[in-house]
A and B are shown apart, each in its own frame.
Chain A
């Protein structure tokens, strides 16, 4: 899987980079352009965890996959005129759905707030199902409180979206069927 090089490093370094990214995003820069400016890294040849929740400090480099969405949201939220960022947020959300790393970012529980509008649930679900096999082939390298888990085993926003679309929590907490998350679509409420 290819992830933006800008997400890779120790958290202290990545955090600084992301502050710059957020500044650019607030000025209306394109998410994909900003995030891929330093190139991409292949997870098969680059060591480290794919951190999707819980900040991982220390000098060991990891992919901090929840960034820049979380710092961006916090920054928008902290602004006096936070409502003024609604258009920007829509643009960032839509751009995120166009890449597997963008979908992964939105699947981080740290970024649940990007999914407050229910209208974003199905688009993320469909995008996640599209790239699921790519995300899952990374294997047990996802970090969310526990080191090295498969993506389904850690809390993620696919659970959140599916729960809000009617899939029972106990189903979401059970091991994933071999067919993957598509197998759970049968539990979803039909579209009105």
Chain B
């Protein structure tokens, strides 16, 4: 196809969709367009730039592809996406979008995985092609792929919008598209937004809580897959029937976003369960920085001749806060919703590495420890938690209550054993729980985008 670059120039000598002025360039710097001048000798001087662009816009006829970027842009360090970015820009700049029902932009973007898709769209946006990209993507109607492409487009758009200018309509469209994606892709896109907003701990917790709420909602719709009402929770107990686990009160503090509330309470509740089960151990939870723990360990282990070197860690590392660290047993755990178990494992491994760097052999906490499995009250429901792998405690949020039921034994046992089963809440209990009025993903994006940077 015989595309051409947009050669429009305004009065200030700006050209292309980005409209950046080449006149403002450091003369010593070459634009990427100039840097990409091919070996055929067609360019290399300012006077020849336009001709060069023309010649390389017709890359279908051979030769290297010339890419117009904002003047002064450094070449993308995100190779190999860089090649895709160049191709995307070339296609977007072409005057004819679709030839014989085929849209090469669609073909290109559909072939990419989510991280590459986001990177390529971002590359195009960086060069000023976001309006063209938007127009193209929203024109696509394929129900099997469009949610993915739209979600990525909206994410790239939203992270560029100043906080005060984010429109509800934009958020709603993004949430609607994102709600249609598989969870792993949702996570990748939300992570992209998190990364670009420089989001801190509280927003991550929003993310966690929203994941847990979403998983709970899915369980109600599809109990076969998620356990749903049949979900059970340990620990099995012996003797007299244990008390049921009733839903906790629904009292979100102030204007706190509900997912943040759900995530925070899960962390606090599970940590409290662990502490209760380890009454004699020194345990630090949630809000204790690594630096403070190393000082504590220095006192605890110093007498045994162990050397602990806090200086081996950076200030940022010393300020990190693992969810549960048992300093007596030298175990640690990371708490996450079930859907984010892999992230929990990665984070726990990072913390183990940090302690090792400081000279302390803290291990991933065993899955069989007391206090790493059970059911506890949650706001308007219960948390069911367990340790699926060392160093990880995963929780599920359920709108219901846990009631003890006797475990059926093959032979009469001396003491009856019990397990917990999830039962629905009473209408009165349900009435006090505020439900989300918007899609989970929409709310999550909103919280991320509207939260103060670094919150």
Which residue of chain A is the closest to B286 with respect to CB atoms?
Answer: A54
Interface string of A111-122 (1 = CB under 8 A from B): 011001000000
B44 interface residue, CB < 8 Å from A?
Answer: no
Interface string of A35-79 (1 = CB under 8 A from B): 000000000000000000111111110000000000001101110
A123-179 CB contacts (< 8 Å) to partner B: 144-148, 154-155, 159-160, 162-164, 169, 172-173
Which residue of chain A is the closest to B311 with respect to CB atoms?
Answer: A80
Partner of A169, one of B251, B271, B277, B295: B277
Q: Contact: A109 with B275, CB < 8 Å?
A: yes
**Distance between Cα atoms of A159 and B282 in the complex (Å):** 12
Q: Contact: B279 with A112, CB < 8 Å?
A: no
Partner of B296, one of A54, A77, A144: A77
A23 interface residue, CB < 8 Å from B?
Answer: no
A82 interface residue, CB < 8 Å from B?
Answer: yes
A-B residue pair count with CB separations less than 8 angstroms = 91
Q: Contact: A163 with B280, CB < 8 Å?
A: yes
Partner of A145, one of B254, B268, B279, B318: B268
B187 interface residue, CB < 8 Å from A?
Answer: no
Which residue of chain B is the closest to A73 with respect to CB atoms?
Answer: B292
Partner of B268, one of A54, A59, A116, A172: A54
Contacts of A74 in B (CB 8 A): 288-289, 292
Contacts of A146 in B (CB 8 A): 248, 269, 272, 376-377
B12 interface residue, CB < 8 Å from A?
Answer: no
B271-294 CB contacts (< 8 Å) to partner A: 271-272, 275-280, 282-289, 291-292
**Distance between Cα atoms of A77 and B308 in the complex (Å):** 13
Known: A54-B272, A159-B279, A160-B279. A59 touches B254 (CB 8 A): yes
Interface centre among B268, B269, B275, B279 (most CB of A within 10 A): B279
Partner of B300, one of A57, A116, A172: A116
**Distance between Cα atoms of A57 and B265 in the complex (Å):** 11
**Distance between Cα atoms of A113 and B288 in the complex (Å):** 11
Known: A112-B282, A169-B277. A145 touches B271 (CB 8 A): yes
Q: Identify 30 residue pairs between A and B in the complex whose beta-carbon atoms are under 8 Å apart, listed by A's number.
A: A54-B271, A54-B272, A54-B286, A55-B287, A56-B253, A57-B253, A57-B254, A57-B264, A58-B252, A59-B254, A74-B288, A74-B292, A76-B295, A77-B296, A82-B295, A109-B283, A109-B285, A110-B287, A112-B282, A112-B283, A112-B284, A116-B299, A144-B272, A145-B265, A145-B272, A145-B376, A154-B272, A155-B275, A159-B279, A163-B280
Interface of B with A (CB < 8 Å)?
248-249, 251-254, 256, 264-265, 268-269, 271-272, 275-280, 282-289, 291-292, 295-296, 299-300, 318, 370, 376-377
